[in-house]
Structure 1
Amino acid sequence: MKFRHLALAAALVAASASVLAQDIRDRVVKFGHLVQPGHPIALGAEKFAELVASKSGGKMKVREYGASVLGSEAQQVSALQGGVQEMFAPATTSVASLVKEMSLIDTPFSFSSAKQVDALLQGPFGQAMLKKLEDKGLVGLDYWETGFRNVTNSRKPVTSPEDVQGLKIRVMGNPLFLESFSALGTNPVPMAFGELYGALESRALDAQENPYSIVLTSKFYEVQKYMSVTNHVYTANPVLVSKKFWDRLTPDEQKVLRDAAREAGAYHRALSREVAAKDRQALLAKGMQINDVSKETIAKMRAITKPVADKFAATYDPALVELYRAEMKKIHETVH
């Protein structure tokens, strides 16, 4: 027992010496996000802060600012570019306004599993996209997630492409989303999220699309009877650092942030998927009727929206589009 204590003490001394040997200074890092406490992204940010403190010997301190207290997605991205905010985890849909190729990740009906998502984002294409952000004053460390989006509505379960036709549905104000839902025969409406519950309650809208967690925490089950698991879009959240801030860091400090973001990312993604399964059960307990849309129906919807995706892809960097398509082909053949 005595030798075990001595070994532990020696290990702690060695770890402390390792940190002291690094070129790390006292720094405060503001990390912004949009979600409420307890959401997987918030918990990921908390884990990230713990890891940064541990890896820097307590010198680098991450302060989390959630629930949009630092502003909207556009405002926080701009703050990173200007160097007045250090970190942010926005959705790819907003980052696509700066790097349009990021929309390839949001291509409807691309993924059939989280494993396929991870294969794309942790592989050559995902890393190429993070690298491309540097020209816009941003450094990407990893991909976290909001997760797969599903359709809810007040009319009937969606079991075929025809079932969505005519639905007045709220979607994000992203051109790819708007045109894809139009191709499916819906009447897509971009609307501020804060107005959505009232519009569903009054039946001004028939439907909306969001991950399980948003449907549950926003209580959409009170005004939407049906959820159809379409998994039509996966929303990723790249973890971004202001390049102006990044360039002031020492290599050791950069390594602390990069390693911590990746470790926290693995923790966050596993937690996010575990929470999604629990949220589905919670929605069923609230009385929501949930049906899994068949692979055949998903394939038909993918075929209907493909011309829209191809139209947008034709305006992107051809090399990145080629890389994306090659990676997706390989993933569909080998990852299930």
Structure 2
Amino acid sequence: MKKLLTVLVMFCVIFVVGCGSKNTTSGSSSSPAGTTAASASSEAPKGEVKVMKMATANAKDRSLTRGLVKFGELVEKETNGSIKVEVYPDGQLGGDIQVFEAMKIGSVQGSTMSTGPIASFSKRFNIFDLPFLFKDAETAYKVLDGDIGQELLSELPAAGVVGLGYMENGFRDLTNNKREVKSPDDVKGLKIRTLENELHIELWKTLGATPTPMAITELFTALEQKVVDGQENPSGNIKLNKFYEVQKYVTKTGHVYNASPLIISNKFWEQLSDQEKEAIKKAAAESITWQRAENQKESKEAYDFLAQNGMTVTELTPEEKQKFVDALKPVYDKFKPTIGEDLVNKLLEAVK
């Protein structure tokens, strides 16, 4: 009898250990996107697909979101399917600041967002949000794709992400529901939603407005409930976020050109093979060129749409725009020490 009990006990132990081993293997295959079954290895086992969750606060049909979709298609093609890209638009995974934090820990693998939010994590990126810096998009492309743009991208790994290049959000314009804006004096007293960025907050303070930083995912409701009087965004965002439903006036101030870096979680990047990294770089370059062209087209079409949907679209004369330029010169003086005076002067020389 004792022998029989001993045999039964041993059989149960073997059965339990076997089941436990099976469960561990199953769990490793469903580990978070971008990680591998063997945490010590930076190379995915043969046949395992790495998943890239790309999150953006932009609307589904925005050129930036479509640029991420294009990037994903190219990545999957160039890696022969070893990397699968999933795009989450409309702030499904949070606003820009939340997404950046998620990228730092690796729970989100990539995004594109304006330089304003990025500057919260890498201060020198404020340089690209200095008011009236670029006279046109072509000038911006030359700087961003040149030495200065690449120098700034090289600083991003210290903040937990890798920069692959610059997509385009576009020139930011002012909307409000109080009055037509033609001069800096017209801005005084308006409650304006801004990016969650100290330079943007200072910009609107300098013009006499009351800046209110918040994520774009909260903005429509804030405008509808009159928490703020207005906001500022590229025309494509004004259209696709339907701000025309709760705003009457749009002024083509073009006060800030917004580049939108394409960024990847450093934790995810370090788990890729050299071949996968090269494939992602190639896909990034091609998708950036494609997205910029799409954004230019989108921006032009948006103004006609806004006018047709009841907004008063105001184009500033050169003299009126110069008044804004002059009024915002103190912003340069305030942020030069933080950004670096040498870098600011180098950039001002480059944009000439």
TM-score relative to the length of structure 2 = 0.80
CA distance in 1, matches of 2:170, 2:344: 20
2:210 aligns to what? Answer: 187
Q: Which whole-Å deviations, capped at 9, do the CAs of 1:105-139 have from their partners, x for residues lacking one? A: 11112122111221221111111111001112211
Aligned residues: 307
Residue in structure 2 matched with residue 326 of structure 1 by the alignment = 346
| 8 Å CA contact retained: 2:117, 2:196 | no
Report the equivalent of 1:123: 146
Choose the corresponding residue for 2:256, options 233, 236, 243. 233
* Partner in structure 2 of residue 103 of structure 1: 126
Distance 1:64 1:158, change over 3 A: same
TM-superposed deviation, 1:39: 1.3
| Corresponding residue SS for 1:188 | strand
Q: Helix, strand or coil: the match of 2:143?
A: helix
CA contact (8 A) 1:150 1:227 kept: yes
1:276-308 Cα deviation digits (max 9, x unpaired): 111111111112111211222322222222212
SS of aligned partner of 1:272: helix
Matching of residue 30 in structure 1 with residue 50 in structure 2 = no
> The residue matched to 1:315 in structure 2 has which SS?
helix
Determine the structure 2 residue equivalent to 1:63.
86
Cα distance in 2 for residues equivalent to 1:205 and 1:97: 23
- Confirm or deny: 8 A CA contact 1:24 1:250 kept in the other structure: no
My pick for the range that moved more, 185-194 or 55-64, is 185-194
The partner residue of 1:257 within 280, 283, 288 is 280
CA deviation string 1:141-164 (max 9, x = no partner): 011122211111234332222222
Which residue in the other structure is 1:135 paired with?
158
Question: Which amino acid is 2:101 matched to?
Answer: S
Which residue identity does 2:148 align to in structure 1?
A: F
Structure 1 counterpart of 2:302, one-letter code: D
What are the within-5 Å matches in structure 2 for residues 1-336 of structure 1?
A: 26-191=49-214, 193=216, 196-201=219-224, 203=226, 205-316=228-339, 318=340, 321-332=341-352
Deviates more, 1:127-136 or 1:299-308: 299-308
Identity among equivalent pairs (%): 36
Is there any run of 5+ residues in structure 1 with no aligned partner, and where?
A: 1-22
The 8 Å contact of residues 159 and 293 in structure 1, kept in 2 or not, is answered as yes
Following TM superposition, by how much is the alpha carbon of 1:228 offset from its aligned partner in structure 2, in angstroms? 0.8
SS at match of 1:287: coil
Q: Distance in 2 between matches of 1:24 and 1:299?
A: 59
Kept after mapping to 1: 8 A contact 2:115/2:258? yes
**Inter-CA distance 194–49: structure 2 relative to 1 (3 Å threshold):** closer
What value does the CA root-mean-square deviation take over the aligned residues? 2.3
Structure 1 94/296 Cα, relative in aligned 2: closer, same or farther at 3 Å? same
Q: Which is greater in Rg?
A: 2
Q: Distance in 1 between matches of 2:338 and 2:347?
A: 19
Match of 2:351, SS state, is: helix
Shift of 1:102: 0.4
Residue type of the partner of 1:327? L
Deviation at 1:30, TM superposition (A): 2.0
Moved more, 127-136 or 84-93: 84-93
Post-superposition shift, 1:261? Answer: 0.8
Task: Decide whether the 8 Å contact of 2:62 with 2:237 is kept in 1.
Answer: no
- The answer to whether the Cα contact below 8 Å between 2:171 and 2:257 also exists between their aligned partners in 1 is yes
